[in-house]
Amino acid sequence: MKRLYKGIKVAFVFLILLSAVVVSWFACRPYTDSMQLGRGDVIPLEHEWRVSASADSRTATLRWTLPESMPSDMALCLRSNYMAVTVWVGDEKLYAYGDRPTSSFGVPLGQLYLIVDLPASAQGQELRAEISSRWAIQPEQLTGRTYYGTRGNIRSLVFDSNTGAFIFGFLSLIFGALFLLLSACLALKRNKAYTPYNGFLYLGLFIFLAGLWVVTDSNLPQFITAHVEPVFYTSFFSFMLMPVALLFFIRETKMHGNRVVEACILLLLVNMAVSSCLHLAGLVPLMDSVLATHALLFICVVVLLVVCIREEWVYHNHTLREIWIGLAALGASALLAIVQFYVSPMSDNSFFFRIGLLVFIILLCVSAFKRAVAALNENAQTAVYKQLAYVDLMTHLQNRTAFEKVQADLEASTTQAERLGYIVFDINNLKETNDTYGHAEGDQLIIRAGRYIGRQWEGVGKCFRIGGDEFAVQLNHTSAREIEESLRSFAAAVA
């Protein structure tokens, strides 16, 4: 199982790198559709269009008669919900989006605001928008979020409706990057007793990928990059990898359901790989695999909830409480977001998810820091226990175990010890003291002897209590004359 888990981690890293390569490739391709916003009143046109649709509802035509008088800098704003759009005035084509020849990778259309400049010669004429889609088009998709006004006011409307998502995503990116930096700092100070940096690493990846998805799922990147494809693929890959990073974080906790978590990770990675391959081969567009992905995510959330709740109720492991409560909040918000995605595609699909994600991130941070504090305490206790194993509790000198370890290290050392000397003591008449005055007085005698020995040689040698009334001092780089002088000084001190 360890080899399988290691292989899953390698696959996770590989898919992250592959996603970066694909996004970079599309970012380098030329893109001609105009999505930039300029400057300039906004009139909703939802109830102004005359709509005619084909029998299968995959193509439709919208018609609207332009005002007899139009100020300059007027524009039409249409929302593309993965649809190709061509706008005409008479026989003049004003705008075309999504009618380019497709490449082997396919051309993702995305959910964009399409801005159509309206020339002064078009006033009073009929404007026609021809729309086509791979799927049946809902009425709301045809006329919802269509506006007429100056470009500046349209820009303000778009920015105002997406600012919340963009700020949330941007802050998540910063927060995630800080956790990644923290994990890197902890990794540099890694030791066997303290390894919570893995938890911070996967938590940082999850928060960073969640922020990246929220940002790219909003409509603002189209006005920053003027490029649909890298934004689309970044949104897709971050959405697919985000739950994997979360599962790796949960996998780092001490729980009994690690095999179930590993199975979920493997399923999500396989789903991402298969969906990507089918899309790149031109067989199944990514949007056609969304339903399967949503179903798989829902199953994983339910399974994880069961595992976490069982961990607390059956095994009485309370370290996962924040995680399963956060999972419940995130699962409920994700379910609402998915329902909204299918019921109202033109809405802000990440709104409910952002709320649940915020609650989840807060609880995850609480869990991560609690685990870090527990690891620090465990590390401190380990260091104390390790120290106590080599210290005599009565005299606070090193004990016989420490003495034997020092001798074993000397014997195993390849370098020859120079001028190494030993002084060995025992306390005379300790048994008589115990029998006459009691063991308490005998203990005080041992303590005082250890105190005098420590004062005399601590810092210049190693002092040990090697038996009940026996002590030893190891001196390095010391001559016989120096040892004799130190013994005379010691005798004068205890006289």
- What digits encode the pLDDT tens for the residues 254-295? 677 788 888 889 999 999 999 888 887 778 777 778 888 888
pTM over 0.85: no
Query: For residues 273 and 15, what is the distance between their CA atoms, to the nearest angstrom?
Result: 8
Name residues whose C-beta falls within 8 Å of residue 436's C-beta, 6 or more positions apart in sequence: none
Q: Minimal CA–CA distance to 248: which of 486, 488, 484, 11?
A: 11
- What digits encode the pLDDT tens for the residues 433-449? 888 888 888 888 888 88
- What digits encode the pLDDT tens for the residues 102-128? 444 455 667 778 888 888 888 889 999
3-state secondary structure 314-348: CCCCHHHHHHHHHHHHHHHHHHHHHHHHHHCCCCC
Partners of residue 50 on adjacent β-strands: 63
302: three-class secondary structure by DSSP: helix
Q: Say yes or no to pLDDT of 341 above 80.
A: no
Instruction: pLDDT band for 196, please (50, 70, 90 cuts).
Output: low
By mean pLDDT, which of 30-34, 118-122, 147-151, 287-291 is the weakest?
A: 30-34
Q: Say yes or no to pLDDT of 406 above 60.
A: yes
Provide the token pair at 102: 């497709």
Category of 442 on φ-ψ map: left (φ > 0), alpha (ψ -120 to 50) or beta: alpha
By mean pLDDT, which of 193-197, 215-219, 251-255, 381-385 is the weakest?
A: 193-197
Residue 159, amino acid: F
Q: Say yes or no to pLDDT of 311 above 70.
A: yes
10 Å Cβ neighbour count for 188? 8
The strands making up 111-117's β-sheet, listed across from edge to edge, are 43-44, 147-150, 74-81, 111-117
CA–chain centroid gap for 31, Å, is 32
Query: For residues 250 and 279, what is the distance between their CA atoms, to the nearest angstrom?
Result: 30
First to last CA, the chain: 68
Instruction: Report the percentage of the chain scoring pLDDT > 90.
Output: 2
CA–chain centroid gap for 281, Å, is 30
User: How buried is residue 379: exposed, middle or buried, by Cβ count under 10 Å (0-12/13-18/19+)?
Assistant: middle
